[in-house]
Amino acid sequence: MVIIDTSIIVDASRNKPDAINLIESYLGKEKIAITVISKYEMLRGVTEHDASFVSQLLEKFVIYDFKDCAVREVVEAYKKLAQKGRMINELNLIIASIALANNETLITKDRDFLNFESEKIIVIK
């Protein structure tokens, strides 16, 4: 299973072909997941007009919660990034930590994730 970051879900919801093709390429091979943080990010920014569409889109994914194992991972990542002076957005920090705590690959367009220096985080253009 792979975890798709909010950046790709947003593009897919805007009918951007690259994002749709990426999601479809994984759907044929395995299940796709998102984190509860991405679900939050999508729902907080949705207009009333698009709420039904976004809710239906989110139902297609497995959702990883922010569990205790991820809390340990996010604390360690926070300390490492802070020590290097390479902090990223707190929600992105949690998303990456949920993926890493569950030994899943995270796919994103957000270059901030490169600060993790992990083979399990794939940043695409």
Interhelix angle 36-45/6-13, rounded to 10 degrees, is 40
Three-state DSSP class for residue 97: helix
Instruction: Specify the pLDDT at position 82.
Output: 95
Residue 104 reports pLDDT greater than 90? yes
- Delimit the domains of the chain by residue range: 2-123
Average pLDDT across the chain, whole number: 91
Three-state DSSP class for residue 47: coil
Instruction: Specify the pLDDT at position 28.
Output: 77
CATH of 2-123, one of 3.40.50.1010, 3.40.50.1240, 2.60.40.10, 2.40.50.220: 3.40.50.1010
Q: CA–CA separation, 100 vs 98, rounded Å?
A: 6
pLDDT: is 106 or 25 the higher one? Answer: 106
pLDDT tens digits for 47-95? 888 888 888 888 889 999 999 889 999 999 999 999 999 999 999 999 9
